[in-house]
């Protein structure tokens, strides 16, 4: 269970770190946009990993 919470915390930190660059990009900073898109790709991967981990944990709990 703590493994899921650890991953969730990592995802929240990543989203918070992207916030400044999102605002910069909205104001016309193209370099910030590149950083945001790269961060969103990482976020997508991390969220997918969290889903898989959650499913694995649920299956392990049911089999016990």
Q: Considering the entire predicted model, what is its pTM? A: 0.86
DSSP 24-37: HHHTT-HHHHHHHH
What whole-number distance in Å separates Cα of residue 20 and Cα of residue 18? 6
What whole-number distance in Å separates Cα of residue 52 and Cα of residue 28? 36
Residues in contact with 13: Cβ distance below 8 Å, sequence separation at least 6, in sequence order: none
pLDDT in tens, the chain (64 residues): 689 999 999 999 999 999 999 999 999 999 999 999 999 999 999 999 999 999 999 999 888 6
pLDDT for 30: 97
Domain count along the chain: 1
């Amino acid at each position: 269970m703590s493994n899921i919470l650890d991953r969730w915390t990592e995802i929240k930190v990543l989203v918070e770190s992207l916030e400044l660059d999102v605002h910069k990009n909205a104001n016309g900073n193209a370099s910030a946009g590149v950083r945001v898109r790269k961060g969103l790709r990482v976020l997508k991967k991390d969220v997918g990993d969290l889903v898989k981990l959650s499913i694995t944990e649920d299956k392990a709990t049911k089999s016990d």
